[in-house]
Amino acid sequence: MRRIDLGVFEPAEHIPPDRLIGDLVSLATFLGPESRRPDGAARAAVVMKQWADGNPALLAEAETIAHREHHEDAAEILHHAHDLAAI
């Protein structure tokens, strides 16, 4: 996963895991309104899977946090992304 931070790309191995999960939840929350469009949740899930480098454990943890914070659209997208990554 790559993160944009003030115009600098940081490799995922240099980002603390808690910050990485927070970034996933934030991105999924941003993409949340896409779940109301036809096939929007599926397209957003592909983006989330790519952002997480296909790591199902990371996506599952982000989904749990999204549920806990009542971001249901984000949790749905992360759930789809987790399913894609688990294949």
pLDDT in tens, 23-68: 889 999 999 998 889 999 899 999 899 888 888 999 999 999 999 9
> pTM score, two decimals?
0.78
- pLDDT value of residue 16: 67
| Structure-block tokens of residue 21 | 């999960």
Q: What is the pLDDT of residues 68-77, one digit of tens each?
A: 999 999 999 9
Which residue type sits at 75?
A
